């Protein structure tokens, strides 16, 4: 067990730091994306309310 921890100790530490940084970075990007998607959804819903014919084909 002790050997398992000591073996390649610094590579394990560096890879753990990299993993944590990557996780936080990706997490932040995902939050941003979701926020942006929500905003887009909201703005499209508002434009639908203000202009109900928006995006629909004109009826002949």
Partner 1 sequence: MHNHISLVKILIEICILWFVCYGILLFARGTRGVYVLRGIILITLIFIITKQLGFDRINWIFTKIFALSILAFLIIFQQEIRRGLASIGQRRWSRFFLKETEIISEITTACFLLSKKKTGALIAIERETRLENYIESGIEIDAKVNSELLITIFTPNTPLHDGGIVISGERVAASGCLFPLTQNPKVSTTLGTRHRAALGLSEETDAIVVIVSEETGGVSVAIGGRLTHDLDRESLERVLGNLYRPDSKNRK
Binding site for partner 1 (CB under 8 A): 7-8, 11-12, 14-16, 18-23, 25
Nearest distance from C-beta of residue 3 to partner 1, angstroms? 9
Rounded to a whole number of angstroms, the minimum distance from the CB of residue 40 to partner 1 is 22
The DSSP letter of residue 8 is T
Nearer of residues 12 and 38 to partner 1, judged by Cβ:
12
Nearer Cβ to partner 1 (18/46):
18
- In degrees, rounded to 5, the angle at the alpha carbon of residue 56 between the alpha carbons of residues 36 and 35 is 5
- Listing DSSP states for 25-59 in one string gives HHHHHHHHHHHHHHHHHHHHHHHHHH-TTTTSPPP
């Amino acid at each position: 067990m002790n050997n398992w921890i000591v073996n390649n100790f610094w590579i394990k530490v560096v890879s753990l730091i990299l993993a944590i940084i990557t996780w936080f970075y990706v997490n932040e990007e995902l939050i941003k994306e979701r926020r942006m998607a929500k905003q887009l959804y909201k703005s499209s819903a508002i434009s639908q309310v203000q202009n109900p014919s928006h995006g629909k084909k004109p009826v002949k």
